[in-house]
Chains A and B, each alone.
Chain A
Amino acid sequence: MVIYGVYIVSKSGGLIFNHDHNLTKIETEKTFSFPLDIQLQCENKKVVVAFGQRDGIMVGHVLTAVNGIPVTGQQLDDGRDVFDVLKTQELFPLNLKFERPKMTTNEKIFLASMFYPLFAIASQLSPEPRSSGIEVLEADTFKLHCFQTLTGVKFIVVVEPNQGGMDVLLKRIYELYADYALKNPFYSLEMPIRCELFDTNLQILLEQVEKTGISSV
């Protein structure tokens, strides 16, 4: 049972909580000699593998270090431009580190605000009156489950495809929200949830569900 992530969207459509669970970090390091036989290009201000996939380095992976020096955007932390270094034969052989790109917080916020109207479209498409919004979104590598409370707050979990009983998990997360976020007088409604007790108890809940199954909660 693998849970990939938990998201909470406020009733006005903003992402107020996100927790990434079990996201495997895919990192590969390899030494290259001149000339570089992987095509790299600049995309979204990052150096990305465009072509030349091999040895675990896939298209779309981001260059994160050259000879151990971290890369930020298109520049090495010592000030040199990445593409200049890669053109200089004397600097080779070079050790390059690549990583699968992670979603940034801004991208998550953007996706959550996109999800909000899509959720509503589902109920409008329905031939029956009073239909719910999106409950499950299925793809080949994951399933997204959504539960909307009567107050409009949406609880979302992203899990592996054949996982059952997720409505129970969503309800339990709702209970944790009612306890550790709402009962905290310093938490303001609709704001991002930064309550340690909520984080801790959610982590415990997710680990318990992964180890002993949904029927134990």
Chain B
Amino acid sequence: QNSELFTLTYGALVSQLLKDYENVDDVNKQLERMGYNIGIRLIEDFLARTSSGRCYDFRDTADKIQMGFRLFLGVTPSITNWSPAGDEFSLHFETNPLTEFVELPDHCLNLKYANVLTGVIRGACEMVQMEVTSWFVQDQLKGDNVTELRIKFIKRLEDAIPAGED
């Protein structure tokens, strides 16, 4: 399956945002927001296709997020670096279809190129009543060996839980 059109499309999106906003921080925010809007929809597709049940443990969530990357992006990151309290973990990506062929120029060193992914994770988890936050710890586009995305559990969104699930 040729994913180059996908990579090119994402690249066109980011470069257009840079032209529209000029400020790199604003672009990072927009990418995260777009990701959020994708995440709130994509979660239902994930649930419908995999018939997944609710996660009662963050390790469950980590496995499902990993499955999501495999299903939707065709990459399988490894789950590593669990915090002692079990509320934070990292995903290590060797490759990322979004960033193939990309080189960050000097004036965009603060650009979080793949920030859409942090939004997708936030949106998807929010729809299943979990508040999480995620950020890039390492970025291959900035010279690191791997791209490391760290995800932290904040809290369960108690009032939003559907009837019959508490």
Q: Do A and B bind each other?
A: yes
Q: In whole Å, how far is B143's beta carbon from the nearest beta carbon of chain A? A: 36
B51 interfacial contact with A, CB 8 Å: yes
The residues of A that contact B41 with a CB separation of less than 8 Å are 178, 182-183, 189
B84 interfacial contact with A, CB 8 Å: no
Q: Which residue of B lies closest to A151 (CB)?
A: B127
B166 interfacial contact with A, CB 8 Å: yes
Determine whether the beta carbon of A131 is less than 8 Å from that of B164: yes
Binds A, one of B10-18, B42-50, B73-81, B92-100: B42-50
Given contacts A150-B128, A175-B49, contact A119 B44 (CB under 8 A): no
Q: Which residue of B lies closest to A184 (CB)?
A: B41
Determine whether the beta carbon of A11 is less than 8 Å from that of B40: no
Contact count band on A: 20 to 34
Q: In whole Å, how far is A217's beta carbon from the nearest beta carbon of chain B? A: 14
Determine whether the beta carbon of A182 is less than 8 Å from that of B44: yes
Determine whether the beta carbon of A178 is less than 8 Å from that of B44: yes
Determine whether the beta carbon of B164 is less than 8 Å from that of A132: yes
The residues of B that contact A182 with a CB separation of less than 8 Å are 41, 44-45
The residues of B that contact A133 with a CB separation of less than 8 Å are 162-164
Determine whether the beta carbon of A151 is less than 8 Å from that of B43: yes
Determine whether the beta carbon of A149 is less than 8 Å from that of B44: yes
A148: contacting residue among B40, B43, B164, CB under 8 A: B164
Against A, the Cβ 8 Å flags (1 = close, 0 = not) of B29-62 are: 0000000000011011101110111100000000
With an 8 Å Cβ cutoff, the count of chain B residues facing the other chain is 20
Bound together, the chains give a CA A44 to CA B51 distance in angstroms of 45
The residues of A that contact B43 with a CB separation of less than 8 Å are 151
B162: contacting residue among A11, A174, A175, CB under 8 A: A11
Determine whether the beta carbon of B45 is less than 8 Å from that of A130: no
Q: In whole Å, how far is B41's beta carbon from the nearest beta carbon of chain A? A: 4
B165 interfacial contact with A, CB 8 Å: yes
The residues of B that contact A177 with a CB separation of less than 8 Å are 44, 48
Q: Which residue of B lies closest to A135 (CB)?
A: B164
Determine whether the beta carbon of A151 is less than 8 Å from that of B47: yes
Bound together, the chains give a CA A113 to CA B64 distance in angstroms of 33
Q: In whole Å, how far is B77's beta carbon from the nearest beta carbon of chain A? A: 23
Q: In whole Å, how far is B95's beta carbon from the nearest beta carbon of chain A? A: 25
A137 interfacial contact with B, CB 8 Å: no
A174: contacting residue among B44, B53, B128, B163, CB under 8 A: B44
Which B residues are within 8 Å of any A CB, using their own CB? 40-41, 43-45, 47-49, 51-54, 127-128, 160, 162-166
A-B contact pairs, 11 of them (CB 8 A): A11-B162, A122-B164, A123-B163, A130-B165, A131-B164, A133-B162, A133-B164, A148-B162, A171-B48, A177-B48, A178-B45
4 pairs of A and B residues whose beta carbons are closest in the complex = A120-B163, A152-B162, A123-B164, A133-B164
